[in-house]
Amino acid sequence: MLRLFNTLGKRTYVFNPANKKVVNIFTCGPSVYQRSHIGNFRTFLFEDILVRYLAYSGYNVYRGMSLTDIEDKALQEAKKQRKTLQQLTNENIRTFIREMRFLRMKLPDYLPRASECVQESAEIIGRLLKSRLAYWYKGNVYFDPLRFPGFGQLYGLDMSRWPRKRRRFHKDTYPGMRWNYGDFILWHGCKRGDKYCFDTALGKGRPSWNIQDPSMIVKHFQETLSIYCGGIDNLIRHHDYTRAILESIRPYPMAKFWLHCNHLYVQGQKMSKSKGNILFTEDLVRQGYGAKEIRFFLIYGKYCERMDYSPELMRSAIDKLRMFKRIMREIEKKAEMSKAYKVGISRTLEMKFVEHMDNDLDIQNAFDGLLRITNEIDVGTLNPSTASGIRRTLREIDEVLDVGL
């Protein structure tokens, strides 16, 4: 039985989907004002493994992923690069999808852009204004978290610290990992000199970052999501906002399970432009690693724990993968001698894989368990039909990992 750590509740639960016929998943995609680095792709790959393992376990899975192409940072970056917003975001979206394919990720069933869901954003905000959870102020619209019961439960906020004197935060995002104790913006009213404004029932303006995921979900999902995913940094000033917005206009929970992937550090430090330690996929390619090896390194760990990159850690992980592949080449030679297959060892491999993957997607121990079993096989005395069974099982497992087992 698959068990997942649910951020909402702060403990591990047996996974039961909200809908028995289809597991609906929504995942926070990239903000496409810039390229995604390998730390971002760690989160996206964890989500890819989740979708694949659910399918391996017999579930029918439907997944959406957001593309944030309207926000303060994108407008600033476009101006800096002397490009239109569409030129900047289209270029980064093309790069993102190309890198998703390079890392062998399954593309989500839909990849909506925030710019495609502006009318849905305006409709949600209109409903929030009517219920007085949101209000106009100087041409913008703000949400009052104190009017939503249970606000802050995802993060675990101490709401007794929330000031009773009204404060407003006008930007889409703020630097650092701290909370803004006050009302957050939903709608940027169009002001003189603004280039990107949309005509809506609210008037001219653009949706804030925090209304965009709800607008995409409303457009594509009409029930409680089984799982909502994102990076752990989204627990600060984002996912509690998203939940409050959506549950304020719907009479049912937004999601049953909330999963968050932890950070990838570089030699003990968080990736940042100021430190000059941001790594992209081509940086690892230049070191001599292939797509499957990069994919393996980024999934080889527990998604909910912080992971560290260093050249030494990368080599150590890839050495394990290459050792596994050497063993498999020898088993393949034996398997080619038989069209029949026996379960035996293959059943042991399957059980070991499922045992660890059912434990909150523990890929590291799942892979290490497979490696130990195969490493103990005396290939010279291996029966060809047993070898064929091993090959068959590992190919099924590799439908989840996709690292070339």
pLDDT of residue 342: 67
Nearest residue to 187 (alpha-carbon basis) of 286, 71, 89: 71
User: Are the beta carbons of 6 and 12 closer than 8 angstroms?
Assistant: yes
Q: Which pLDDT tens digit goes with each residue over 114-141?
A: 999 999 999 999 999 999 999 999 999 9
Per-residue confidence band for 341, with pLDDT thresholds at 50, 70 and 90 = low
Per-residue confidence band for 177, with pLDDT thresholds at 50, 70 and 90 = confident
Tokens of 387: 């070898």
Q: Which pLDDT tens digit goes with each residue over 352-361?
A: 999 999 999 9
User: Are the beta carbons of 2 and 15 closer than 8 angstroms?
Assistant: yes
Nearest residue to 304 (alpha-carbon basis) of 24, 27, 46, 55: 46
Per-residue confidence band for 380, with pLDDT thresholds at 50, 70 and 90 = confident
Length of the chain, in residues: 405
- What structural domains and CATH numbers belong to the chain? 3-261 (3.40.50.620), 269-401 (1.10.730.10)
Query: What's the CA gap between 136 and 133, in Å, rounded?
Result: 11
pLDDT of residue 79: 95
Q: Which pLDDT tens digit goes with each residue over 4-44?
A: 999 999 999 999 999 999 999 999 999 999 999 999 999 99
- Helical segments of 196-276, H only: 209-220, 239-249
Query: What's the CA gap between 320 and 221, in Å, rounded?
Result: 41
pLDDT of residue 334: 87
Neighbours of 335 (CB within 10 A): 21
Q: Which pLDDT tens digit goes with each residue over 53-80?
A: 999 999 999 999 999 999 999 999 999 9
Q: Which pLDDT tens digit goes with each residue over 90-115?
A: 999 999 999 999 999 999 999 999 99
pLDDT of residue 364: 97
Mean pLDDT of the chain: 95
Proportion of the chain above pLDDT 90, given as a percent: 90
pLDDT of residue 272: 79
Helix axes 363-375, 311-335, angle to 10 degrees: 50
Neighbours of 43 (CB within 10 A): 27
Average pLDDT on 200-217 reads 97
Query: What's the CA gap between 399 and 242, in Å, rounded?
Result: 33
273: exposed, middle or buried (Cβ count in 10 Å: 0-12, 13-18, 19+): exposed
Tokens of 108: 């989500």
Rg, Å, the chain Cα set: 23
